[in-house]
Amino acid sequence: MFNKFILVVAAILCTAGIVRAQSDVQPCATDEHYRQMLEKYPQLAAMETQFEDQLSKRMAERTTAATDTTIYDVPLVIHVIHDYGAENLSDTVLYDAVKYWTTVYLKQNADTADVIPTFVPYVGKPGMRFHLATKDPNGNPTKGIVRFQSYLTSTADDEAKFGQWPQNEYVNIWFISAFGSSLTGVAAYAILPSTVVFEPFYDGIICIASYVSNDKTIPHEMGHIMNLSHPWGNTNNPGVSCGGNDFVDDTPPTMGHNGTGCTAAALYDTTCATGYEKLYTSSDGTMDSLVNYPDTANSQNIMDYTYCARMFTKGQAARMRAAITNATGGRSNLWSPANLAATGALTPMQDLPPVPDFIMNRGIPTTSDTRAYFLTTNCASSFVFRNASWNDTITSVSWAFSNGATLPTSTSMSTVTNKFSVPGWVTVSLTATANSGSTTLVNTQAVYAADTTPAGGVGYTQSFASASDISNWPMFNYYNNQFKWEFYHGAGIGDTTCLRYRSYDSSNRITGNAVGDKDDIYTPAFNLSGTTGNLYFNFFTTSAYTRHNIGSGTTLVDDSLEVDVSINGGASWARIGGYGSTRLYNNGNYGIEFVPNSATQWLPRSLNIPTLYRTGETFFRFRYHPGNTGNDLYIDNMSIGTLPAGVKEAVTSAPNTFNIFPNPSSNGFNLVFKTGNDGIVSYNVKDITGKVIYENKKVFNANSVEQESISRSITPAAGMYFVTVTIDGVNMTQKMVVY
């Protein structure tokens, strides 16, 4: 009988404490996550000690039990977080993967034959079987696989763990395309049972999809779920010191092997293990037994990083079995008969109806921007619809397209290339058929075929007075989330209506970081051909930021608005302007949702439209990139004209004033003024000495806004000048700076 052990440290050469190699990229980020949790929740250390105490008692009991052959059944749910790329793993791949994970946990993986002789006696059997759930948390039938489209699949972290099912009922596994910059080089990580209590909503495994069947990545992470540490301990780094502890006796001390590969040096590494043995004592203090463990590191251990993982040890198996029979992290509930019944883990999977789905094809290069959702009716480019139906048993599909489609119907299982002759939102119906029946998806706003008839040209104005005024301004919320464009009733310049981008988020953002999302609103076509001189795309914005989303002291760089132009029917877009950070936010910090209530809160925005883009069929697009710091952005009074935004509005609302733009300038000036009752306007330019160097007098329509230009030749020398305008006998003077 023994209930205590002491470690014989004679052969342990290095006893350094926690050493962190910052530049060291590790394939599993479980330790890093654990360290962050320890920093955030210091009480974790005490809880950990208590948990280890319970576990060692439990392990001792189990070791002494004559036969412990219980097999623990574990319900799983797999969340495929994808953007329709290769990370959208098929059901078949996942079914096969789950089966394989079970063989490893039953010690039935064939490659245990490769275990070096030293460790053959130590190969352990955790005794667990994994089952995709057949009932979801609401009791509805499921295949235990959930698919969710998100931009976060390519910059994943905890916030990509969408839609967790109760973590004490299912082990949640999320597959993603790639981790974000804070997890560079990481393949996967998992949450240890003792840390679950602090952030239960992140419990589970998150793994890059391409590692689904890569050298036991998931069995390794499942080891962490069942409380295994890396053999070098979870507060250590591999390759740094021998001093770590994984609380498992038959995994000899090791520094671990990261990036070394499965070399002979790694396989027969004795650096930390030479002379390794353990003395177990009885409760009365007398020696009970001395066990001489191998003097070689167990580099083929699934919890090492050698990428020749073959085995768990018996001690690790015992530790996992102790964890799954302990309430910490809710692990002991997973295999309870009641939970197995509720999750349908042991019930054969039903044949469920297919799920019809499609996506616009990505072009080359494979960036999300190359997905076309907006093209004109006569565009040389085509829409490409790609079938993404799933549930694995699909035998045929049937497509139907509205809007005078070139191909009104199709049965293509892959892609359909199509054009539309009738402008407006295109309805796409997709029926997927499988042996269990057919399901039809009807998407009434699948893509937008834009009218090529210009909505206007120079002088066009849009005050967003009603939603019907912008029925030909299609809005796209590509990821179908809370960050989106909308017609807004409740604010505006001179009225109470405008456009709004909803960037304010009142949720506590456990999942769904905004960074990486983007949303578009497109204008109708404009005829700008033949226009010369300055031509402006004008609009007004007002916005604020939300400090509580970013913490104090963080810079405001995240949200941005860009304006793009297209002259080939939406096939490609060029950026003509953008606003971010302090150039975007003009109303400071709002802890609540920002709604403007005064005209003074609005900023005029003007973008000169390059001559290249002045065609008979020019489109514009507002694209918003939310970034966690934004509050709502409002847009109103869009116009196309020869005056920049604000200039005309200022003189219209305040007679007896005039505007000079641009100022300063090196290339001449424009005067903008509102004429008086007789329409007569005279103006002169004086140099710095007060000498009149130019004067002019003209008759315009009465009470109208007019513009005059002053060429650079009038003010050849750089410096300051004065302009005096006389209207209805009133003189007004302003400075003008030439450089």
Would you tell me which residues interact with Zn ion (CB under 5 A)?
28, 30
433 φ/ψ sector (left φ>0, alpha ψ -120 to 50, else beta): beta
- Least distance (Å) between residue 262 CB and Zn ion: 17
> By C-beta, is 30 or 511 nearer to Zn ion?
30
> By C-beta, is 186 or 544 nearer to Zn ion?
186
> By C-beta, is 280 or 307 nearer to Zn ion?
307
- Least distance (Å) between residue 215 CB and Zn ion: 12
Retrieve residue 647's tokens.
């200039």
Hunting for tokens 């209805």 — which residue is that? 728
Q: In angstroms, rounded to a whole number, what is the distance separating the alpha carbons of residues 557 and 581?
A: 5
Question: Which residues touch 466 (CB under 8 Å, ≥6 apart)?
Answer: 497
The answer, yes or no, to whether the previous bond of 365 is cis (omega within 30 of 0) is yes
- Least distance (Å) between residue 304 CB and Zn ion: 9
Sequence-separated contacts (24+) of 47-56 with Cβ below 8 Å: 47/194, 47/197, 48/194, 51/193, 51/194, 51/326, 51/328, 52/247, 54/322, 54/326, 54/328, 55/227, 55/247, 55/319, 55/322, 55/323, 55/326, 56/3, 56/247
For residue 638, the number of C-alpha atoms closer than 13 Å in the C-beta half-sphere is 24
Sheet holding 424-434, edge to edge: 374-376, 437-450, 424-434, 394-401, 409-410
> By C-beta, is 28 or 379 nearer to Zn ion?
28
The C-alpha R_g of the chain, in whole angstroms, comes to 34
- Least distance (Å) between residue 229 CB and Zn ion: 8
- Least distance (Å) between residue 186 CB and Zn ion: 10
> By C-beta, is 224 or 321 nearer to Zn ion?
224
Question: Which residues touch 715 (CB under 8 Å, ≥6 apart)?
Answer: 685, 693, 721, 736, 738
Retrieve residue 616's tokens.
């008979």
> By C-beta, is 303 or 426 nearer to Zn ion?
303
Relative to beta strand 461-462, strand 630-641 is: antiparallel
- Least distance (Å) between residue 21 CB and Zn ion: 16
- Least distance (Å) between residue 66 CB and Zn ion: 33
- Least distance (Å) between residue 352 CB and Zn ion: 34
> By C-beta, is 28 or 77 nearer to Zn ion?
28
Question: Which residues touch 272 (CB under 8 Å, ≥6 apart)?
Answer: 12, 13, 14, 242, 252, 253, 254, 255, 297
**HEC string of 689-706?**
CCCEEEEEEEECCCCCEE
Hunting for tokens 């080891």 — which residue is that? 223
> By C-beta, is 232 or 545 nearer to Zn ion?
232
> By C-beta, is 28 or 450 nearer to Zn ion?
28
**Chain centroid offset of residue 457 CA:** 38
Retrieve residue 584's tokens.
């975007």
Sheet holding 415-418, edge to edge: 358-360, 383-387, 415-418
- Least distance (Å) between residue 190 CB and Zn ion: 7
- Least distance (Å) between residue 266 CB and Zn ion: 17
- Least distance (Å) between residue 251 CB and Zn ion: 14
- Least distance (Å) between residue 321 CB and Zn ion: 19
| CB 106, CB 219: distance < 8 Å | no
> By C-beta, is 34 or 573 nearer to Zn ion?
34
> By C-beta, is 220 or 518 nearer to Zn ion?
220
> By C-beta, is 32 or 687 nearer to Zn ion?
32
The answer, yes or no, to whether the previous bond of 662 is cis (omega within 30 of 0) is yes
**Chain centroid offset of residue 323 CA:** 33
- Least distance (Å) between residue 31 CB and Zn ion: 7
> By C-beta, is 247 or 613 nearer to Zn ion?
247
Q: Which residue is nearest to Zn ion (CB)?
A: 28
Residue 530 CB coordination number (10 Å) = 10
Q: In angstroms, rounded to a whole number, what is the distance separating the alpha carbons of residues 158 and 146?
A: 17
Residue 596 CB coordination number (10 Å) = 23
Nearest Cα residue to 307 out of 374, 252, 256, 349: 256
